[in-house]
Structure 1
Amino acid sequence: MLVWQFEDPVRALSSASVGGGFSTPAWLLNIGVPHDYSRIDLDEHAAKIAAGRSLSGPGIAMFTAVDVTRAEHACFEGASVSATVGVTKPTWAADPEAGHALWPGTINLIALVPVALEPAAMVQALLAMTEAKTQALLEAQVPGTGTASDAITLLCSIAGPAQRFGGVRSRWGHRLAMATHAAVQQGLAAHPGRAR
């Protein structure tokens, strides 16, 4: 697993199943699981893992069948992104045939910016990152906008005046999009077989 611990307080916005939403986490985990992982008690599983690492307080846990040692990292003008990229079963967001099937393969994105962002700007920034991820997939001719289990977490400072905008043409939204695009590109290029 990949572990982040935050000595200085950070604000997070996450789509993770454990600790998702807006929060002020003390830690974050990107946990590698088997391809046939089917547990639904994710809170309990994450809590046990966190306790085993002596992590206390609120946290965020993301899960992936990707080998997390294959994480790709990219930075762009102060914005940094860590990506674990698995696309064995890409899917289109609007797919009438998809139903509620469980798909292996996950793209987990963890991003950090050294400035404070207003809540709406954090939402905008997550959208910018999602668009950049999808752009990288389409450029690599992956037939989908992502996978059914993708997750994303954005972490920002709580110090100083909060930035009002986070969209693709804002300063930090643009930087996050560039870093996300690079990290996902790197993940796809490093593992072209996509059997993760």
Structure 2
Amino acid sequence: METPRDAVEATLAMIAAALAGEGFALKPGLKIKRVDGDYTDVIRTQTSVWNRTDTQAWFTLTAVIESGRFGRFLKARWPDRPANVSRHDRFVTSRQLKKPGTNLTCRWDAILPGDRAAIAEEATGNIRTQILPWFAAMRDPLAVVRQIPGPFAGTRLLHYALANGLEREMRAHLVEVSQKVPAFGEAMARMKAGTMDRRPGNSFDEIALRAIELGLA
């Protein structure tokens, strides 16, 4: 009997086939990948915990960029981190696939075999218009680090700036962001004054504090 995972994988195989000309192939773990020099472009699949055989096979897609050079830099700079942290060293940044013109996550149900070709066609079209241009843009390390202070930007991008020799550019960018985004500027000022007023889970506080620790602010 076909499981929801089987249904999703069958749909991913169609997507991968459509993207084969761009160098992508379906890999274990419900991933569609291509290697481009130092970089690996990955389209990862998230399935629903509520998926059930013969009922539903929901899935979403997220684009991820990995870099071998970045992974080597992190291992050399901070070699004593636990394995459950260092195993993610190649990860640079990510972006969810959205419904065109909205901020809504694309979500599909592949349970019915007759729906899968249309799902694959729609997903492939969205990947071509949203994700492939993003992969190309993120080849520029400066474009990557300038995602701060976006919704998925964290302290990792500060490390990426160091790995690519962009200390001066990152300092200038953080000054600019502090001026343009009042909440970020306020967080930076508080962290420079001391960490006693640090707000747990506040991404601006975390970025500001790490930037100060790394000499980037």
Which TM bucket (shorter chain)?
Answer: under 0.3
TM-score, normalised via structure 2 length: 0.26
Higher strand share: 1
Higher helix share: 2
TM-score, normalised via structure 1 length: 0.28
